[in-house]
């Protein structure tokens, strides 16, 4: 809100009668009210015709008027005012911003020009200045007389004082130039007078400048305005951008009398012009344009620019009967690094990755940051899959070397999906989407590799999209169910533990098993949310049974590699079991050998932290991983789970069960408990008993069951056999 006007100016302001003219009644009323609030006597005129009538009958000190009005325009009102009340000043308030309108208004005698929408404080300050100036002029009429001879030059200079003001002779030589040239371009005005204007123009703009000045339609009412580059001198930038406006001078309006401030007198001037420095605006426009089409972190083209270049490449490839490749790149393990070291280090990593990737590209290839840790790559003019494969292998290889971020050495990989035009799509959207689909297939099969898109992937992806949508809804609607498979003492048939297994009660497809949706949950990063729901429900169910008397009952939970590798895994897990009041000593987490070997040092620290909290560690599917057994005595492992594929090998002799024999013997030597999975027959159970295998689970005692059925089983002294021996 504008501050209240000072009372000591009221007498001066009250004596100023102001005519407010516009064809918009609400604008006139609000402007008049604003002026009255500052002590001015404002009269409202609704349009040019109404204003002329008021001018005929009343006296005004100042007129605020619009230029563009439907009945009588502002220029006509100014002419009428000049004829009847020449001492009345004029301020133009208009949305018209063209140089022609502004120049015409100023040459018609307007004292100032305010563009709509206006700032009230600026307007009041302008009115106050004009009123003060008029008062000063009236009280110093004798001085005004002595200044009349220089009034014309004064108008030309003052009206555009922030800009370079110049005059040219008919042959294009400077005959006047103001001192602004020195601060903007480094020249002295005197050294330019007498020289042709082309000496200031950048060589690339000389022809354009000469043509514009000699254009047949140039006139005072139709000036020539264009952007040009002017050369600087000294240590400044080589060129700066200027908006130059020039038009012929009417000899009747210009009679020079002696030298003026600046260089030259303007004698024999045929052209008048101004040059406004717009370098900062041009640089801002260039930066905004860069922002619109580039990623500011990596300086790579963004998604919009990449799509545009793919469209152009497709057009060219179609015309020339050529092929092109679109690659979709997703960094492996980036999220873990970003979460562990922070976003600042993550940004540094993305910049370092960008530099390495760019070194692998050909001239004409386009690498783009598509978003997050995803990149896209356009390879125009490829002969086939081998060309794209060669680039993909180079990209994978260049990222294998470690990245040094501060004091940390980190490793990332990249999964690459490739779509070849026109085989994998003929449109930009198809190629990008299919490359993305191929990249996801790489992720599913182990990452850090590349694959080409095939039609079979598209069918899978359509099903995947629908399933992903349903899974997100399932997490919101609570459609997940927790079933429990008993872990039974091989000698007593008593339940000693329960493995929590997730099921999905799909509203249309019925009960779905983990193999139907867990892989998708990991790909879409929904696995953490899914695991939280399963763990919460399992802790509630098993916790209730523990509190009812089964104090030694163990809860076994499978965890995905994504969860275990997360930097806040231990903290989050302990928070959840504490929130559910579940005893940590009754929890056993199951992880695979591959998770351990991905980063042995980090996983070792994680498992020790869990063991310190009382949580038990089990190695799931033992014997199926590609790892050294050296970790078994280095890590706080409590249980080995023999994979069911080895248990199934037990048929009728020692030779069939040699792997089981070795695993059980090794576990005994390391003093680890053993759980054999997939026990289905009495012969298998008996054989495992003779080996000394303490615990078994499998269909021999029944499939995984909901909590209600498990509650009944726990009331029995032993588990009944579900399958015939």
3-state secondary structure string, 682-724? HHHHHHHHHHCCCEECCHHHCCCECHHHHHHHHCCCCCCCCCC
Highest mean pLDDT among 65-69, 105-109, 418-422: 418-422
Is the pLDDT at 696 greater than 90? The verdict is yes
Q: Of 117, 118, 92, 124, which is closest to residue 106 (Cα–Cα)?
A: 92
Band (pLDDT 50/70/90 cuts) for residue 13 is: very low
CB 377 within 8 Å of CB 438: no
Mean pLDDT of 550-577: 89
Q: Are strands 164-168 and 174-177 parallel, antiparallel or unpaired?
A: antiparallel
Fold for 9-139, please state it: Rossmann fold (3.40.50)
3-state secondary structure string, 95-145? CCCCHHHHHHHHHCCCCEEEECCCCHHHHHHHHHHHHHHHHHHHHCHHHHH
pLDDT digits (tens, 9 = 90+) for 375-393: 999 999 998 899 999 999 9
Q: For residue 352, what pLDDT is reported?
A: 94
DSSP-assigned letter for residue 621: E
pLDDT digits (tens, 9 = 90+) for 573-614: 999 999 999 999 999 999 887 777 666 777 888 889 999 999
Are domains 9-139 and 477-714 of this chain identical in fold?
Answer: no
Percent of the chain at pLDDT > 90 equals: 34
Q: For residue 3, what pLDDT is reported?
A: 45
Q: For residue 503, what pLDDT is reported?
A: 95
DSSP-assigned letter for residue 199: G
Q: For residue 300, what pLDDT is reported?
A: 93
pLDDT digits (tens, 9 = 90+) for 42-99: 999 999 899 999 999 999 989 999 888 888 898 899 999 988 988 888 998 888 777 7
Could you tell me the residue ranges of all domains in the chain? 9-139, 157-283, 294-453, 477-714
Q: Of 278, 280, 281, which is closest to residue 163 (Cα–Cα)?
A: 278
| pTM across the whole model | 0.47
Given the candidates 3.40.50.1820, 3.90.700.10, 3.30.2270.10, 3.30.450.20, the CATH classification of the domain at 157-283 is 3.30.450.20
CB 179 within 8 Å of CB 188: no
Burial grade of 348 (CB within 10 A; 0-12, 13-18, 19 or more):
middle
| 447 or 670: which leads in pLDDT | 670
Q: For residue 1, what pLDDT is reported?
A: 43
Band (pLDDT 50/70/90 cuts) for residue 156 is: low
pLDDT digits (tens, 9 = 90+) for 655-672: 557 888 888 888 888 888
pLDDT digits (tens, 9 = 90+) for 349-373: 999 999 999 999 988 999 999 988 9
Band (pLDDT 50/70/90 cuts) for residue 557 is: very high
Q: For residue 12, what pLDDT is reported?
A: 46
| 51 or 622: which leads in pLDDT | 51
Mean pLDDT of 471-484: 94
Is the pLDDT at 150 greater than 80? The verdict is no
Highest mean pLDDT among 337-346, 357-366, 617-626: 357-366
pLDDT digits (tens, 9 = 90+) for 267-294: 677 888 888 888 888 888 888 888 888 8
Q: For residue 315, what pLDDT is reported?
A: 94
Is the pLDDT at 2 greater than 50? The verdict is no
Q: For residue 569, what pLDDT is reported?
A: 87
Highest mean pLDDT among 31-35, 203-207, 322-326, 716-720: 322-326
657: left (phi over 0), alpha (psi -120 to 50) or beta: alpha
Mean pLDDT of 414-429: 92
Is the pLDDT at 262 greater than 60? The verdict is no
Residues paired with 502 in a beta bridge = 482
Mean pLDDT of 532-553: 94
Q: Are strands 695-696 and 510-512 parallel, antiparallel or unpaired?
A: unpaired
Is the pLDDT at 189 greater than 60? The verdict is yes
CATH architecture for segment(s) 294-453:
2-Layer Sandwich (3.30)
Band (pLDDT 50/70/90 cuts) for residue 442 is: confident
* Token digits of residue 576: 């959840």
Band (pLDDT 50/70/90 cuts) for residue 256 is: low
Is the pLDDT at 324 greater than 70? The verdict is yes
Distance CA 673, CA 416 (A): 42
Residue 465's φ and ψ, nearest 5 degrees, are -60, -45
Task: Return the residue matching tokens 């390879």.
Answer: 379
Is the pLDDT at 153 greater than 90? The verdict is no
Domain 477-714, classified CATH 3.40.50.970, yes or no: no
Q: For residue 6, what pLDDT is reported?
A: 44
| 228 or 395: which leads in pLDDT | 395
Cα 369 versus chain centre, distance: 10
Distance CA 75, CA 373 (A): 61
């Amino acid at each position: 809100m504008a501050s209240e006007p000072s009372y000591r100016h009221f007498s001066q302001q009250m004596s100023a009668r102001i005519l407010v003219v516009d064809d918009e009644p609400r604008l006139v009323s609000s402007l008049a009210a604003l002026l009255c609030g500052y002590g001015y006597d404002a009269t409202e005129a609704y349009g040019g015709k109404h204003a002329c009538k008021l001018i005929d009958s009343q006296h005004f000190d100042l007129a605020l008027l619009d230029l563009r009005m439907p009945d009588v325009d502002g220029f006509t009102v100014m002419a009428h005012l000049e004829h009847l009340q020449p001492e009345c000043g004029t301020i133009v308030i208009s949305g018209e911003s063209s140089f022609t309108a502004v120049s015409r208004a100023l040459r018609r005698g307007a004292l100032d020009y305010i563009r709509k929408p206006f700032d009230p404080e600026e307007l009041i300050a302008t009115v106050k200045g004009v009123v003060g100036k008029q008062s000063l002029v009236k009280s110093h009429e004798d001085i005004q007389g002595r200044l009349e001879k220089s009034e014309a030059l004064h108008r030309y200079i003052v009206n555009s004082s922030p800009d370079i003001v110049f005059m040219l002779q008919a042959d294009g030589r400077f005959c006047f130039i103001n001192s602004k040239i020195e601060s903007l371009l480094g020249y002295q005005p005197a050294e330019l007078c007498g020289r042709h204007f082309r000496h200031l123009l950048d060589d690339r703009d000389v022809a354009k400048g000469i043509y514009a000045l000699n254009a047949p339609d140039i006139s005072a009412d139709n000036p020539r305005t264009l952007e040009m580059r002017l050369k600087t001198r000294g240590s400044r930038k080589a060129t700066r951008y200027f908006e130059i406006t020039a038009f012929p001078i009417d000899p009747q309006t210009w009679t020079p009398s002696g030298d003026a401030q600046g260089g030259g007198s303007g004698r024999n001037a045929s052209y008048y012009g101004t040059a406004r420095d717009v370098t900062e605006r041009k640089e801002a426009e260039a930066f905004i344009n860069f922002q619109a089409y580039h990623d500011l972190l990596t300086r790579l083209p963004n998604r919009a620019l990449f799509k545009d270049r793919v469209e152009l490449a497709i057009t060219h490839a179609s015309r020339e009967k050529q092929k092109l490749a679109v690659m979709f790149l997703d960094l492996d393990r980036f999220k873990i690094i970003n979460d562990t070291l922070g976003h600042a280090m993550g940004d540094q990593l993305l910049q370092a990755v960008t530099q390495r990737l760019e070194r692998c590209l050909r001239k004409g290839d386009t690498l783009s940051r598509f978003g997050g840790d995803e990149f896209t790559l356009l390879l125009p003019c490829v002969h086939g899959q081998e060309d794209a494969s060669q680039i993909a292998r180079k990209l994978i290889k260049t990222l294998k070397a470690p990245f040094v971020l501060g004091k940390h050495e980190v490793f990332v990989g990249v999964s690459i999906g490739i779509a070849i035009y026109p085989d994998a799509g003929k449109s930009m959207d198809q190629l990008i989407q299919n490359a993305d689909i191929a990249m996801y297939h790489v992720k599913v099969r182990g990452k850090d590799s590349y694959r080409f898109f095939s039609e079979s992937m598209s069918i899978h992806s359509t099903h995947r999209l629908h399933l992903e949508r349903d899974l997100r809804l399932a997490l919101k609607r609570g459609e997940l169910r927790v079933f429990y498979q008993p872990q039974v003492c091989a000698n007593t048939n008593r339940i000693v533990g329960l493995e929590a297994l997730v099921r999905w009660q799909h509203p249309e497809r019925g009960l779905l098993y983990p193999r139907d949706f867990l892989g998708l949950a990991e790909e879409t990063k929904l696995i953490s949310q899914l695991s939280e729901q399963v763990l919460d429900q399992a802790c509630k169910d098993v916790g209730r049974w523990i509190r009812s008397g089964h104090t030694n009952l163990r809860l076994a939970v499978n965890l995905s590699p994504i969860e275990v590798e997360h930097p806040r895994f231990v903290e989050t897990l302990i928070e959840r079991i504490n929130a559910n009041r579940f005893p940590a000593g009754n929890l056993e987490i199951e992880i695979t050998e591959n998770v351990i070997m991905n980063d042995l040092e980090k996983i070792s620290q994680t498992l020790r932290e869990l063991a310190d909290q009382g949580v038990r560690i089990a190695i799931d599917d033992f014997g199926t991983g590609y790892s050294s057994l050296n970790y078994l005595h280095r890590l706080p492992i409590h249980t080995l789970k023999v994979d069911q594929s080895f248990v199934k090998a037990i048929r009728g002799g020692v030779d069939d069960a040699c792997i089981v024999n070795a695993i059980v013997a090794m576990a005994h030597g390391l003093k680890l408990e053993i759980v054999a999975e997939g026990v289905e027959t009495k012969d298998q159970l008996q054989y495992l008993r003779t080996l000394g295998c303490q615990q078994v689970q499998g269909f021999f005692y029944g499939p995984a069951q909901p909590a209600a059925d498990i509650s009944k089983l726990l009331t029995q002294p032993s588990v009944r056999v579900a399958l015939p021996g």
